[in-house]
A and B are shown apart, each in its own frame.
Chain A
Amino acid sequence: DAGITQSPRHKVTETGTPVTLRCHQTENHRYMYWYRQDPGHGLRLIHYSYGVKDTDKGEVSDGYSVSRSKTEDFLLTLESATSSQTSVYFCAISVGGPTDTQYFGPGTRLTVL
């Protein structure tokens, strides 16, 4: 357990509504990541952050935005949710460095109807 929590753990919403997922860490790690997990695709990176207010896009960033105003919190926002964004979302942290282990949160299961 690397002190990572995600909220909510489960959410059902309707198409077109905004949704914000929160990732919180207690260990002040510099790097934070948002992934989505879908059958047959493994984990795909949505966005990542390498410091407060420093973020960059991953391979599947369309339709998602992020914010990091504090070291401990990394927010993922779906501005207008679509059914294709139904997925399990994982947050991860690392201290940085290509050999460093990523530690994952428990995940958020999002269903968009």
Chain B
Amino acid sequence: AQSVTQLGSHVSVSEGALVLLRCNYSSSVPPYLFWYVQYPNQGLQLLLKYTSAATLVKGINGFEAEFKKSETSFHLTKPSAHMSDAAEYFCAVSDTPSGTYKYIFGTGTRLKVLA
């Protein structure tokens, strides 16, 4: 079965510092991968997705993620953190082998940005 693992349930960075949120996936077939962001008291919204077109994917708000098959990783980065980036971030994989259109989510990483 496919799965995703997010390392670090809480990450703190200083404003202006690099943001790195880690996601590793387990898949026997080429995966489709997603990063979502959730601001307080809101639903999730898509940051970016990997669909095999390009290994470096650019998303909204200056975020990007690189698909590395050899490392089974899809880490999310942003060069310079802003206070408004404080939120919870979820990595997800599309459960393609099952033949259904289900998605499997990681447990989330809460990002705190320090002034």
Contact = CB atoms under 8 A, between A and B. Distances in A.
Contacts of A100: 101
Contacts of B45: 104
Contact of B102 (A40, A48, A104): A48
Interface string A78-107: 000000000000101010111111111111
Given A43-B90, A107-B43, A102 B108 contact: no
Given A43-B90, A90-B43, A96-B101, A101 B108 contact: no
B74 interface: no
Interface residues on B, range: 20 to 34
B101 A90 contact: no
Given A41-B107, A42-B106, A104 B101 contact: no
A53 B2 CA distance: 27
B114 interface: no
A27 interface: no
B70 interface: no
B43 A50 contact: no
Nearest to A99: B51
A97 B96 CA distance: 9
Given A98-B96, A102-B46, 10 more contacts: A56-B100, A94-B101, A98-B32, A98-B94, A98-B101, A101-B34, A104-B36, A106-B42, A106-B43, A107-B43
Interface of A: 4, 31, 33, 35, 40-45, 48, 50, 56, 58, 90, 92, 94, 96-107
